[in-house]
A and B are shown apart, each in its own frame.
Chain A
C-alpha cells in the first residue's frame, strides 16, 4: 500500500503540512517496498484558484492508496478524491510524518 503524507519537508522526520491543496510536499511511504519518496508540490503557490483539484489529480497520477493530512481536502478537491478511490485520514496536522504513520497504524486518525 502506498501512503501519501502532506508535509513541509521531504523525509520521514519532516513536519506535516495541515493543508491539502497547497501542501508544500508529499512524502510517500510504500509499505511493500519499505521505501520513502517525496514530491515537490510548491508550484501550487502560483495558482490563485483550483489548487485543490490539481493536487488531488496529481495524487491520483502518483498512484497513492491512502492520504494522511491535517484539515482534509476542501469541496472541489474532495469531489476529485471521491472519484480516485484514495482513502483520506485527517487530524495529523501537528505531527511529524513518523508520528502520523504511528497514529495511522494505531487507528488514531479520523477517516473522512
Chain B
C-alpha cells in the first residue's frame, strides 16, 4: 500500500509524521520511506541509516546541431514551454524550461535536435534495520521537481514491489509536484495545524484530493494551539481524523536536534498506533 503524507500548508509536520511513523512501523516489519520533497528533502536528518546505493538522475533535453539545421522554425513552434527559441540564425535551448516531451526533436526534419542526458539530481537508498529510506535531491538551479519525483517513484516500484507499506513524504502545497507524489497513492494523510492558516490550506488540499478521487484522512499536529475549526471542518465534511499530535516544547526541542519523538512520548506513540490501525483496516477492507 502506497501512503502519501501531504499538506496544504508548509511546516505543519509532514516530515515529523513521516519519519516517526516509518520508524514506528519498522518495529513490526519492512517499511520503505521515500522523501519526495526533492527541492528540500529533510527526512534524512532524522533517519540515520547506512548508504546502500546511490545513483545520478537525468532528464532528456534537445541539443542543437548547427551544421545540419535548416532554421525551419518547427522546433520553436512545437515547444509549449518556450524552451526552444529561434533567434535569427541561432537556436537556443533552455534546459531548465524543457519538459522532455521530445516534440522539437521528433518534428525536426533534419534531426538536428537529438535528445541528450542532463543530470538533474541524485537518489540515495539508506537502510536502518527494517527501514529502507530513499531520498532524492534536486540539483541547485533545476526548476522542475516532477521528472525526479517520477523517476524516484519508479525506483521504489521496481525495488520494493513486495513491501506492504510504502510511505511517501510529499512537498507542501497543491501544485504539480504534489500531484505527482499523490496521484498513485492508495491513501493520503493530510497533516495540518489547528490554526486559520492551517485550515485555509487544508481546504485547498482536500479539494485537490477530491479532484484526484483519493482516499484520505487528516492528522492534526501541534494540537492545543489555535482553535477547533479544523476539527469542526473535518466532522462537517466527514473526513476521518486519524490522530492529534500534541503541541509541546519538548517535542519541538527533540525535533530541532534531529531526533525522533515517539519513543520519548507515549502519547505520540499512541497516536501513531491509531494511524496504523486505521491504515491496516484500509488494507483489509479496500474501498474501491
Which residues of chain A have a CB within 8 Å of any CB of chain B?
47, 49-51, 53-54, 56-57, 60, 76, 79-80, 83-84
Contact = CB atoms under 8 A, between A and B. Distances in A.
A57 B97 CA distance: 15
B88 A50 contact: no
B82 A83 contact: no
Interface of B: 76, 81-83, 85-88, 90, 92, 94, 96-97, 143
Identify which of B76, B86, B92 gathers the most chain A CB atoms within 10 Å of its CB: B92
B94 A83 contact: no
Contact of A76 (B76, B86, B94): B94
Given A79-B92, A83-B90, A83-B92, A53 B143 contact: no
Contacts of A80: 85, 87, 92
Contacts, number: 39
A49 B87 contact: no
B97 A60 contact: no
A56 B82 CA distance: 11
Contact of A53 (B85, B88, B90): B85
A50 B94 CA distance: 9
Contacts of A84: 87
B90 A49 contact: no
A76 B87 contact: no
Given A60-B87, A76-B97, A50 B92 contact: no
